Amino acid sequence: MIRLHIIAEGQTEEEFVNTVLAEHLAGFDVYTDVHCVTTKRTKTKVYRGGSINYEQSKKDIMLWINQERSNNVRFTTMFDLYRLPNNFPEFEQAQRISEPYQKIAALETAFGNDINDYRFIPYIQLHEFEALILSEPTRLRDSFPEYSESIQRLLEICQQYQSPELINDGETTAPSKRIMQLIPSYDGRKVSVAPLMVQKIGLARIRSQCPHFDRWLTQLERLND
């Protein structure tokens, strides 16, 4: 049995782990828990989720790693490439790489080297969580039937890309921004709707459309090998 701790960027990823990923990985004897990364601390309160700061994220990761010294424990992340902080390891060098999969590989390698623990599996989503939803955007009609025409337009946009992971990280063209432009109601319902959409689409469909996500999930499934 492997225990897997996931440090998530925000509440959407946390909900996805709790409602979809944990059950799936349990079938491989990988038992998962998750918490959102700390973004701010005061004397009376800890704030979690939202835009990450790398140094604070690293503190969170290292605190969990140092508390769990067992060989049957693993750690991973769910961070988005979109708005990744510029104090991330080798961030500037990675910006010179235009090919998205090569860029993400360079960032994850630098991330792993900086944490420097064999039990840590770095993962950064190309380009953000909503790419998983865009593997089958028509399922958004289940939650937003009044936006049927807008969802058709979203489908047409997605068909221009080989993978929804390649939909870029511009301020107005990132996956979540494209969804919110066409379905404004998504903005206030993201945390509840996004994991539900992923659940309805199914991991098999998402994996067939999102190769970087698929490689990460395959690695997690094989932790007991």
pLDDT at residue 138, rounded to an integer: 96
Domain of 31, in residue numbers:
2-126+210-221
Query: Taking the complete model, does pTM exceed 0.85, yes or no?
Result: yes
Residues 217 and 195 in one domain: no
- Please count the structural domains in the chain: 2
pLDDT at residue 131, rounded to an integer: 97
pLDDT band at 170 (very low <50, low <70, confident <90, very high): confident
- pLDDT tens across 68-94, in order? 999 999 999 999 999 999 999 999 999
Residue 27: pLDDT over 80:
yes
Residues 76 and 28 in one domain: yes
Residues 105 and 157 in one domain: no
Residues 47 and 146 in one domain: no
- pLDDT tens across 144-168, in order? 999 999 999 999 999 999 999 999 8
pLDDT at residue 51, rounded to an integer: 67
pLDDT band at 1 (very low <50, low <70, confident <90, very high): very high
Residues 180 and 145 in one domain: yes
Residues 138 and 105 in one domain: no
Tokens 């909503």 belong to 130
pLDDT at residue 70, rounded to an integer: 94
Q: Report residue 211 as tokens.
A: 């190769």
Share of the chain above pLDDT 70, in %: 95
Residues 19 and 85 in one domain: yes
Residues 8 and 74 in one domain: yes
pLDDT band at 169 (very low <50, low <70, confident <90, very high): confident
Average pLDDT value for residue range 122-141: 96
Residues 107 and 217 in one domain: yes
Residues 117 and 156 in one domain: no
SS3 sequence of the chain:
CEEEEEEECCHHHHHHHHHHHHHHHHCCCEEEEEEECEEEECCCCEEECCCCCHHHHHHHHHHHHHHCCCCCEEEEEEEECCCCCCCCCCHHHHCCCCCHHHHHHHHHHHHHHHHCCCCEECCEECCCCHHHHCCCHHHHHHCCHHHHHHHHHHHHHHCCCCCHHHCCCCCCCCHHHHHHHHCCCHHHHHHHHHHHHHHHHCHHHHHHHCHHHHHHHHHHHCCCC
Residue 118: pLDDT over 80:
yes
pLDDT at residue 74, rounded to an integer: 98
Residues 139 and 62 in one domain: no
pLDDT at residue 75, rounded to an integer: 98
